[in-house]
Structure 1
Amino acid sequence: MELLTEYASFLAKTVTLVIAILVVLASFAALRSKGRRKAAGQLQVSKLNDFYKGLRERLEQSLFDKDQIKALRKGEAKSEKKQKKKTESKPRVFVLDFDGDIKASATESLRHEITALLTLATPKDEVVLRLESGGGMVHSYGLASSQLARIREAGVPLTVCIDKVAASGGYMMACIGEKVISAPFAILGSIGVVAQLPNVNRLLKKHDIDFEVLTAGEYKRTLTVFGENTEKGREKFQEDLDITHRLFKNFVARYRPQLAIDEVATGEVWLGLAALEKRLVDELKTSDEYLAERAKKAEVYHLHYAERKSLQERIGMAASGSVDRVLLNWWSRLTQQRFW
């Protein structure tokens, strides 16, 4: 026990020192950046055909001798020459990534990527979204879904690839794709709405602490953390959840009319194999497999809009990550529990 106390004391001192240093650096960065305009982001474009070609050539160099490689390159040169003579140009595939957190923060980059590609993309091209998200806030994922709807409205084919998870708000985005492709054991579904909050009103009453909530409007506040919740407030809160769920169901049914919406909109999730049977997805395949196949017949471009973060923002992110890692490591040492 004494060892544990000493370790906790040492950890507290270390965390305090790290935070103090980061606060000083953040303050310095704030002073330097004061008065400066925030730098705009930049659209980064890379050709995935070159990436795949580089992988293949590296493997060939390890497996074949010089004469064999020379023969391969000669054959490739002839093939490329024939391709250039063809009047028809190759179709283009624009690849986007969306790694969603609870606030759908990646929407900020997604909106710029979509704006850029829609200036050039035609119905002969294709947009592939590699999507990973377990869902989050209704309004945040509503905006992210609206961005994808712009692609459909422009008449550009949209394919959504899910390797790990697209649930709740994530599936709300995925269903917009004309084609939805999933890895066999990806998690899909959760077409439902959930809200939860603690209530400590009885604890406050036990210690003779009053808490008052003043509102103008009968339903300005239905359930609270500190106040006394009423049955009427609970009913209104549930009614709001039901309305949101109904809108969610109608949205999914609009883009995937082949679904038995009442059967799948129960809040349940399914693995890719079962999701295919439920028609939540159209095909079982990883995004790597799909893009490698498309690269054989199309020019594949990866788009990423990179936000330029200020020094202050970078220090803040580093500070948050460092503290989280320290606390998680300390807690896991004490409890020996697993974290997901």
Structure 2
Amino acid sequence: MDFIANYGLFLAKIVTVVVAIAAIATIVVNVAQRKKHQRGELRLTNLSEQYQEMREEMQAARLDEHQQKLWHKGQKKKHKLEAKQAKARAKRGETVSSDKPTLYVLDFKGSMDAHEVTSLREEITAVLAVIKPEDEVLLRLESPGGVVHGYGLAASQLQRLRENNVRLTVAVDKVAASGGYMMACVADRIVAAPFSIIGSIGVVAQVPNFHRLLKRNDIDVELHTAGQYKRTLTLFGENTEQGREKFREDLNETHLLFKRFVHEMRPALDIDAVATGEHWYGLQAKDKGLVDDVSTSDDLLIGLMKNHEVIGVRFAQHKKIMDRFTGSAANSLDRLLLRWWQRGEKPLL
């Protein structure tokens, strides 16, 4: 019995040591992977292959049951042969590239603070690392605009493509207004859906003031600044006409910079006629020169697939659990702000 007890104790120690070593190894691997991918992960999707597979499936669906069986059998044989050939090429160290130029497809669905620019800059950097002279970029854009510095940076990221002589097309299915249009105008070509919202080249700001409410309740607020215009308008103090005038002056200066930027990107545009803060639908926007063609991004992509290998590029950021929670709350607030904008700034159908 003592032998069995000692042997069992020995096995327990061995198991404990093995489990401890495995746990340490797992932690080390996880930490290494986390460090490797802490910025995020670049994901590529062959959109040409996806479309071709969908097309073949639709064609097969129109066949009778016997023909479908033969078709699926032929597809399996075809894929098996392709896999065998790819394996043989890999063993020989050969690489296969398409004869067609590549169209890189990016997506930007902008929020009020334009935080999506973090992913956009990674995607553009990745594309510029492998771009060839005949390749192009298509950006599917959706944004009602937001903060000036956020969308200014997003537009600057797109300018990197322009400065490297990469042809850029922007497709707008829903909305590219204000900061969204600031991004779109960088493109060599803008394509908009017939009823997409385009334009809104203007600047807006509003500040609530609670001074009278506080005064009625005998609450004083002291605001101390160094610099005459460090604070032009305030939430709780008494605003002055001088402060209001300076605030309007800053807005007009920002609007002037916005107009100048759009005019530099699209010199043929009558900037004074369209920089009124108004927005137009895609069909109207084409007449005014704000966009070049009227079409959906789907038709545009299908047309380009005939002569291009189409690759979707997406940078997915890794988020901690707390970041996911706060990000979800921020997105909900952002959607609420977008609804308010939609109700106040454009007609509902």
**Bin for the TM-score computed over the shorter chain:** 0.7 to 0.9
Q: Is the contact between residue 104 and residue 136 of structure 2 (CA under 8 Å) also seen in structure 1?
A: yes
For 2:275, give the aligned amino acid.
A
1:94 to 78, 81, 104: 104
Larger relative contact order (CA 8 Å, sep ≥ 6):
1
Task: Tell me by how many angstroms 1:67 deviates.
Answer: 4.9
Query: Structure 1: how far apart are the matches of 2:169 and 2:333?
Result: 39
Aligned pair partner of 1:242 in 252, 263, 278? 252
The 1:222/1:256 distance shift into structure 2, 3 A limit, reads same
Among residues 197, 213, 217, which one is paired with 2:207 in the alignment? 197
Deviation at 1:232, TM superposition (A): 0.5
Number of equivalences: 283
- Structure 2 contact 98–309 (Cα < 8 Å) conserved: no
Aligned to 1:125: 135
Structure 1, unaligned stretches of length 5 or more?
1-32, 81-86, 328-338
Question: CA offsets per residue over residues 182-240 of structure 1, 9 Å max, x none?
Answer: 00000000000000011111111111111111000000000001010001001100110
Q: CA deviation at 1:316?
A: 3.7
Query: In the TM superposition, what are the counterparts of 1:60-71 in structure 2 within 5 Å?
Result: 60-65=59-64, 67=67
Q: CA deviation at 1:323?
A: 10
Return the alpha-carbon distance in structure 2 between the equivalents of residues 223 and 119 of structure 1. Answer: 46
Counterpart for residue 296 of structure 1? 306
Residue range with higher mean Cα deviation, 115-124 or 132-141: 115-124
SS state at 2:130 partner:
coil
Task: Write the letter of the residue equivalent to 1:239.
Answer: E
Q: Give, in angstroms, the shift of residue 102 of structure 1.
A: 0.3
Query: Over aligned residue pairs, what C-alpha RMSD do you find?
Result: 2.8
In structure 2, the partner of 1:44 is 43
Q: Equivalences for 1:159-174 in 2 at 5 Å?
A: 159-174=169-184
Report if aligned partners of 2:112, 2:334 keep a CA contact under 8 Å in 1: no
One-letter identity of the residue aligned with 2:41: Q
- Does residue 273 in structure 1 map to residue 283 in structure 2? yes
* Structure 2 residues not aligned, in runs of 5+: 1-30, 83-96, 337-347
Residue 102 to residue 228, structure 1, CA distance change in 2 (3 Å): same
**Mapped contact 1:175–1:252 kept (Cα < 8 A):** yes
Secondary structure of the structure 2 residue equivalent to 1:129: strand
CA distance in 1, matches of 2:161, 2:179: 18
Q: Percent identity?
A: 54
The amino acid that maps onto 1:111 is R
Which amino acid is 2:62 matched to? L
Instruction: Point out 4+ residue stretches in structure 1 off by more than 3 angstroms.
Output: 65-70, 315-325
Q: CA distance change for structure 1 residues 279 and 324 in 2, over 3 Å: closer, same or farther?
A: closer
For residues 1-340 of structure 1, the aligned pairs below 5 Å read 39-65=38-64, 67=67, 89-317=99-327
